[in-house]
C-alpha cells in the first residue's frame, strides 16, 4: 500500500501553483478578493486575526512566524526547518529535514489558491521525492471549501527507483460559519482511501476566525507535498469557524485487493483565551485513537496534547533572523504520520515481494 491513512488532506494538509493573481478562485469563489488590499498583486495577509484584531501570530509551541512590513508571512520556522515565502518571485521554499520548491498563487485576500512544485527528503534507507499540483478554493466568506492534489511519488532504495501517481481530494462543508464536515478521498491506482471528519461545537467564540492548530496536527489540512502547514494558522488557508470546536470524530479506511485498514480518531477540546486581545492563548485536546487491519492487527491509545499561542502587534515588522541550529522541539510520539505509514506499508510490500 503506497498510501497511508492520513494521506489526506490533500487538502489541505496542506499542504501548488502559478503566478500570483488577485481574485483567482481555481474553480470556487476567491473569498472576496480585495484588489486594493496592501500588497496588491503579491497577496496581502488579511486574515480575520489581522484585520479584526490588529495582531499577528508570533509563535505556536515550537513554530515561529515572521512577517514583512506589509504583514505578510515570510518565514514559518520550526527548529532548523524553515518554510519561506518569496512574494516577488511567487515562491514557497523549505530547508532543513526536507527540501521544497513550489510556485505559489494567492487571491486578493492573501489566501493560497495554488501550489505546484517538488518536495524531497531522505532517511537512513531511502530517498523520496513528490512532484505535485495543489489547488485550493474558498467561498465568499473566505472559508476553504476544497483542496485537491495530483502528483507523482518517487522512491529510490538500494539503487532501485519506483514511481507511482496519486490523486487526493478534500471537501470542507460549512454551515452558519462552522466547519461541520470534512471528506477526504484518494487513490494511487492500487489503494483507495476515504476519511470523514465530523466536527461539533460548544459556546467558545472564535472572534478572529482562527484555524485551530489541532486541525493541522491530526492532518485535516495536510497534503502529501506540503506537510504540517502550520502557516495555515496565520490565515494563508482562509478563515476558521466563528465558534471553536468542542469535539471531533475522524474515521475512515484504506483498501487494496486483499487488505483493509480502518482508523478512528476522537478528539475533545479545551481553550484558554488571551486576556488582552481575545485570541486563543492555549488549545488543549484529548485524543482517543484506534486502528485495525485485515491482517489481524489492532491497536488503541489515548494521549493529551496542547499548543500555546503568542502574538505581536500587526504594525510591528518582525523580520526573520538568519537561521542557525536550535534546540529541536520534539513532538510527543503519537500515531504514525501519513508519510510514515505510507513508507512502512510500502516497505512491507517490497519485503513480501522479495521472499
Residues 6 or more apart in contact with residue 282 via CB below 8 angstroms: 271, 272, 306, 307, 308, 309
342 closest CA partner among 188, 157, 167:
188
**What pLDDT, on the 0 to 100 scale, is given for residue 45?**
56
> What residue ranges define each of the domains in the chain, with the CATH number in brackets?
5-354 (2.40.160.150)
**What pLDDT, on the 0 to 100 scale, is given for residue 184?**
93
Read off the pLDDT of residues 16-56 as tens digits, 9 standing for 90 and up. 222 223 333 333 332 333 323 333 223 455 566 666 666 78
**What pLDDT, on the 0 to 100 scale, is given for residue 347?**
54
Say yes or no to pLDDT of 229 above 70: yes
Question: Higher model confidence: residue 329 or residue 203?
Answer: 203
What ranges make up the beta strands (E) of 20-72?
Answer: 55-60, 63-67
Say yes or no to pLDDT of 319 above 60: no
Read off the pLDDT of residues 262-303 as tens digits, 9 standing for 90 and up. 999 999 999 999 988 889 999 999 999 898 989 898 989 998
Q: How confident is the model at residue 136 (pLDDT cuts 50, 70, 90)?
A: very high
Question: Higher model confidence: residue 199 or residue 30?
Answer: 199
Measure the CA–CA gap between 106 and 93, rounded to whole angstroms: 15
Question: Higher model confidence: residue 352 or residue 186?
Answer: 186
**What pLDDT, on the 0 to 100 scale, is given for residue 247?**
97
Residues 6 or more apart in contact with residue 280 via CB below 8 angstroms: 206, 210, 212, 244, 271, 272, 273, 274, 309
Q: How confident is the model at residue 350 (pLDDT cuts 50, 70, 90)?
A: low
Say yes or no to pLDDT of 323 above 50: no
Question: Higher model confidence: residue 20 or residue 184?
Answer: 184
Measure the CA–CA gap between 341 and 334, rounded to whole angstroms: 12
Read off the pLDDT of residues 84-99 as tens digits, 9 standing for 90 and up. 999 889 888 888 777 8
Amino acid at each position: 500500500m503506497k498510501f497511508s491513512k492520513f494521506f489526506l488532506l490533500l487538502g489541505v494538509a496542506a499542504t501548488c501553483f502559478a503566478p500570483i493573481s488577485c481574485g483567482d478562485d481555481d474553480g470556487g469563489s476567491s473569498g472576496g478578493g480585495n484588489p486594493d488590499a496592501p500588497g496588491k498583486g503579491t497577496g496581502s495577509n488579511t486574515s480575520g486575526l489581522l484585520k479584526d484584531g490588529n495582531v499577528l501570530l508570533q509563535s505556536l509551541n515550537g513554530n515561529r512566524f515572521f512577517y514583512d512590513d506589509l504583514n505578510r508571512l515570510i518565514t514559518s520556522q520550526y527548529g532548523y526547518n524553515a518554510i519561506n515565502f518569496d512574494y516577488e518571485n511567487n515562491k514557497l521554499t523549505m530547508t532543513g529535514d526536507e527540501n521544497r520548491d513550489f510556485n505559489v498563487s494567492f487571491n486578493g485576500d492573501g489566501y493560497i489558491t495554488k501550489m505546484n512544485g517538488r518536495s524531497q527528503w531522505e532517511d537512513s534507507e531511502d530517498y523520496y521525492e513528490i512532484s505535485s499540483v495543489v489547488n485550493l478554493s474558498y467561498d465568499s466568506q473566505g472559508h476553504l471549501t476544497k483542496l485537491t492534489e495530483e502528483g507523482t511519488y518517487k522512491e529510490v532504495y538500494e539503487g532501485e527507483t519506483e514511481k507511482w501517481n496519486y490523486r487526493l481530494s478534500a471537501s470542507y462543508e460549512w454551515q452558519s460559519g462552522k466547519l461541520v464536515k470534512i471528506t477526504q478521498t484518494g487513490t494511487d491506482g492500487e489503494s483507495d482511501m476515504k476519511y470523514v471528519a465530523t466536527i461539533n461545537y460548544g459556546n467558545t467564540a472564535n472572534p478572529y476566525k482562527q484555524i485551530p492548530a489541532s486541525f493541522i496536527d491530526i492532518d485535516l489540512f495536510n497534503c502529501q507535498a506540503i506537510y504540517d502547514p502550520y502557516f495555515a494558522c496565520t490565515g494563508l488557508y482562509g478563515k476558521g469557524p466563528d465558534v471553536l470546536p468542542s469535539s471531533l470524530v475522524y474515521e475512515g479506511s484504506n483498501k487494496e485487493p486483499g487488505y483493509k485498514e480502518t482508523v478512528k480518531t476522537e478528539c475533545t477540546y479545551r481553550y484558554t483565551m488571551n486576556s488582552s486581545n481575545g485570541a486563543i492563548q492555549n488549545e488543549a485536546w484529548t485524543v482517543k485513537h484506534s486502528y485495525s487491519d485485515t491482517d489481524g492487527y489492532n491497536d488503541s491509545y489515548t494521549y493529551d496534547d496542547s499548543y500555546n499561542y503568542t502574538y505581536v502587534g500587526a504594525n510591528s515588522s518582525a523580520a526573520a533572523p538568519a537561521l542557525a541550529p536550535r534546540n529541536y522541539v520534539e513532538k510527543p510520539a503519537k500515531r504514525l504520520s501519513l508519510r510514515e505509514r505510507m513508507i512502512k506499508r510500502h516497505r512491507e510490500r517490497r519485503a513480501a515481494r522479495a521472499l
